[in-house]
Amino acid sequence: MNSLPQVPDYITRLLPQVAGKPISAVKRELGLREVIKLASNENPLGPSERAIEAMEQAVRDAHRYPDAGQYDLRLALAEHHGLAREEVVLGNGSSELIDLLIRTYVDANSHVLTSEGSFIAYKMSTESLGREFRTVPLTAEHGYDLDAMLEAMTPQTRLVFIANPNNPTGTMVGRDELQRFIEKMDAKTGPTPPLLVLDEAYCEYIEPSLAPDSLAILKERPGTVLLRTFSKAYGLAGLRCGYALACSEIVGHLNNVRSPFNVGSIAQIAAIAALADTPYLEATIATNHKNRKALEKSLVARGFSVTPSHANFLLVDLKCDGKRIFERLLQHGVITRPVGVYGLPNCLRITVGTAAENARLLDAVDAIFHVRPQRLVVTDRNLWRQMARMARAQLRKLQPNRIGAQREDQRKVQGIAQ
Ligand SMILES: Cc1ncc(COP(=O)(O)O)c(C=O)c1O
């Protein structure tokens, strides 16, 4: 009998990848008809109409290979960001670019450094390439511990990932903090500083006055890469299109490593249309801010802790086993994301949905935690008196002959109103 070829140890050590459960799988497995997904930080508004129209046109040329040089979209992105086309490269989602960066820059004598509580793809890509992955824990506030990262940095640190805002915590490294980190990192590592990858998958959601000027950092510090994606605020996760902004030398290396047709023609064309659809992006951001605020408030009112978020999801501390609540929510047709792998076993990551989706989530949460509707609290004395009068009149009508009804009913009304 033929035996199978040997697999390197670093491959056999890999754990199965766990992506957000698709709606179809939950419907099939649990026999549910109505399922909502708040698990992968997608845009709940769907794609922009302009992107849909572009895709409909592009479908007619689907028998052709895509443009391997990615000319039009790279040009559109270069103009959008005030860079040259040679400073832009596309990936099959920014996930592919994470992989390509590690393949290109990290060898057997060097390692990747990031936070333990940051995007799991950094670990998966590094380990699937047999490279060394190092992390430091999150701060108590669920942010990047930049001092600990500086401490952990050695001459062998080749690549540093900072997701900003961070997934799964939604926290952000601010402008000054980032600047200080870069200065200290470069001072510590001397002539061979690590490649700094600022993964900005959620940057569109940051309040502009708080956002670091990463493009200025890129211009000043050539060993920097910015990763962006069309999967989140641009609403095109299913098409798999992300991009990196970097100096032309880095882009040249990534272009040599990537496969020529890594981004499909429909994705490239839809992304150009999505990039131009500013009203859609603005509506996305405004909807997210409004719904995120409301959802956070509702969760806090129920006694959960929510990490302040700069993205389109919330990290919610349920103060009990997050995986168990994830399973229970699934039974209610709500898909969320357990985050035990990030060292946050009591938390769930919940994407901000539409108002209706968020209401559905809260109903499911209330059913699971047996939250009773809150008692009506009336602080306005006049309003309270008016309500009590109306209730007494109603009761008199229903029970005109009941002895002592008035006083007793008054007490009841008082009980309800307090
Ligand atoms: C921080 C971060 N970076 C990158 C990605 C990858 O996105 P995509 O491959 O869809 O572009 C994600 C997806 O969830 C993310 O959260």
pLDDT exceeds 50 at position 162: yes
d(CA 27, CA 36): 10
pLDDT for 89-111, tens place per residue? 999 999 999 999 999 999 999 99
| Helix spans in 38-93 (H) | 49-58, 71-81
- Cα 208 to ligand 1 centroid, rounded to whole Å: 21
> Distances from the Cα of 183 to the Cαs of 152, 176, 177, 300, in angstroms?
16, 11, 10, 38
* 209 Cα distance to chain centroid: 20
Average pLDDT taken over every residue of the chain: 91
The reported pLDDT for the residue numbered 149 is 98
- In this structure, which long-range contacts are made by residues 321-329, counting pairs with CB atoms below 8 Å and at least 24 apart in sequence? 321/345, 321/346, 322/346, 322/347, 322/348, 325/368, 328/364, 328/368, 329/361, 329/364, 329/365, 329/368
d(CA 126, CA 128): 6
Mean pLDDT of 257-261: 97
d(CA 44, CA 36): 10
pTM of the entire structure? 0.87
pLDDT interval class at 167 (50, 70, 90): very high
pLDDT interval class at 335 (50, 70, 90): very high
The reported pLDDT for the residue numbered 380 is 59
Tell me which residues have their CB closer than 6 angstroms to ligand 1: 41, 93-95, 119, 163, 167, 199, 201, 229, 231, 237, 242
- Residue having the nearest C-alpha atom to atom 8 of ligand 1: 93
> Distances from the Cα of 205 to the Cαs of 164, 165, 297, 413, in angstroms?
11, 9, 18, 46
The reported pLDDT for the residue numbered 15 is 84
Mean pLDDT of 304-326: 97
pLDDT interval class at 75 (50, 70, 90): very high
pLDDT for 358-367, tens place per residue? 999 999 999 9
pLDDT exceeds 70 at position 374: no
Edge-to-edge strands, sheet with 347-351: 305-307, 313-317, 347-351, 337-338
d(CA 290, CA 83): 33
pLDDT exceeds 60 at position 303: yes
Residue type, 192: T
Which of 37, 43, 77, 95 should be mutated for ligand 1, with most atoms under 8 A from CB?
A: 95
pLDDT exceeds 60 at position 287: yes
Edge-to-edge strands, sheet with 111-115: 88-91, 242-245, 224-229, 195-199, 157-163, 111-115, 132-136
pLDDT exceeds 80 at position 384: no
Architecture in CATH of 9-45+285-369:
Alpha-Beta Complex (3.90)
pLDDT exceeds 60 at position 6: yes
- Cα 228 to ligand 1 centroid, rounded to whole Å: 8
Q: pLDDT > 70: what percent of the chain?
A: 89
pLDDT exceeds 90 at position 20: no
| Through-space distance between the first and last CA atoms of the chain, rounded to whole angstroms | 79
- Residue having the nearest C-alpha atom to atom 14 of ligand 1: 40
pLDDT exceeds 80 at position 77: yes
- Cα 24 to ligand 1 centroid, rounded to whole Å: 21
- Cα 10 to ligand 1 centroid, rounded to whole Å: 24
pLDDT exceeds 50 at position 416: no
Which has the minimum average pLDDT: 91-95, 241-245, 257-261, 384-388? 384-388
d(CA 112, CA 162): 11
Domain ranges of the chain: 9-45+285-369, 49-278, 381-417
- Residue having the nearest C-alpha atom to atom 12 of ligand 1: 201
For 49-278, CATH gives: 3.40.640.10
- Cα 98 to ligand 1 centroid, rounded to whole Å: 9
Contact of 202 with 236, CB cutoff 8 Å: no
| Cβ-based burial of 189 (10 A; exposed 0-12, middle 13-18, buried ≥19) | middle
